[in-house]
Amino acid sequence: MGATEIEREATLAAIERVSERLADEKEHLTDLDSAIGDADHGSNMNRGFRAAREKTEEMDDANPAELVKTIGVTLVSEVGGAAGPLYGGSFMTASAELEDGLTAESTVAFAEAFLEKVKDRGSAEVGAKTMVDALTPAVHTYKKSVEQDDLPPVESLTKAVDACERGVKFTTPIRATKGRASYLGWRSVGHQDPGATSTLFILEAIREIAVEYLGDGDLDADATSPTVPDGEDVDEAMSTDEEPAVDEEA
Ligand code: ADP
Ligand code: MG
């Protein structure tokens, strides 16, 4: 199987996992939205991703960018409310960053374009108690982990999920100033934002698939570590009386 086919398969697997997760969390998301909204976020997200999964499964030979664009088109057309156009528009626009395939660099570009589009469309900054509060730390952490800390994609994604989770928690004690929850004013305080929560579920599902396809970061590090010899090195070390070489730079 070529690299393109694996990426295509991984993208379809991620869409499937996201759709399953959102189906599992339908009640949970609806409960959150009933406290500060109109109790439809769970069914919106479940319906949208189920439709996206059905459509993308029929797209023979589509590459990751085309599949992700279809998620966006489907969410925009199937899901009303705030979240449909916000998530949908962002998947559509950001999918262009994946044209050359799935790499650490292209996924960083995707994440940044995604966040930018959400902010553009919804004009919410961090602190308005929206999905932006979960997405922003996740995207910034992912970018920093890849570009500055040179971490492998899965490890970077794990850090992004942790940051996202902290972003979700941050939405609870603050007052909503955007979206339907803002109609409640101070009464929105003390409730976790549904859209920030669905962002976390989506990211967690993507991470699960990334681990399945790439292995987790620790395994990768062990495989390339100079302190863990592969079979040949072990044989060589056993066949000589010399002390095993020590890597000065290690
Ligand atoms: P609606 O509020 O129209 O019923 P949903 O319930 O599906 O739509 O989605 C609600 C979520 O959408 C909120 O929890 C919030 O995270 C997100 N949201 C609402 N308005 C905005 C906005 N202007 N910018 C970013 N996210 C927003
Ligand atoms: Mg709602």
Ligand with the closest atom to the CA of 198? 1
Collapsed DSSP state (helix, strand, coil) of residue 242: coil
Residue 153: pLDDT over 80: yes
pLDDT in tens, 9-23: 999 999 999 999 999
Nearest ligand, measured from the Cα of 48: 1
The per-residue pLDDT for 155 is 97
Q: How far is the CA of 40 from the centre of ligand 2 (A)?
A: 4
CA angle 69, 105, 201 (to 5 degrees): 55
Ligand 2 centroid distance, CA of 174 (Å)? 18
Q: What is the mean pLDDT of residues 17-30?
A: 98
In angstroms, rounded to a whole number, what is the distance separating the alpha carbons of residues 50 and 182?
Answer: 29
Task: Quote the CA–CA distance of 30 and 11 in Å, as a whole number.
Answer: 27
Out of 41, 47, 75, 87, give the residue to mutate to test ligand 1, the one with the largest number of ligand atoms within 8 Å of its CB. Answer: 41
Single out the residue of 89, 27, 42 nearest to residue 195, CA to CA: 42
Q: How far is the CA of 180 from the centre of ligand 1 (A)?
A: 7
- Where does the pLDDT of residue 210 fall: very low under 50, low under 70, confident under 90, or very high at 90 and above? very high
- Please tell me the predicted confidence (pLDDT) of residue 1: 66
DSSP string for residues in 198-225: HHHHHHHHHHHHHHHHH--HHHHHHHH-
Q: Which ligand is nearest to the CA of 38?
A: 2
Percent of residues, the chain, with pLDDT higher than 70: 86
28-53 residues labelled b (16+ CB within 10 A) or e (exposed): bbbebbebbbeebbbbbbbbbbbbbb
Q: What ligand 1 atom has the least distance to the C-alpha of 81? A: 3
Sorted by where each starts, the structural domains of the chain and their CATH numbers stand as 3-238 (1.25.40.340)
Per-residue pLDDT at 237 exceeds 60 = no
What is the pLDDT confidence band of residue 217, given thresholds at 50, 70 and 90? low
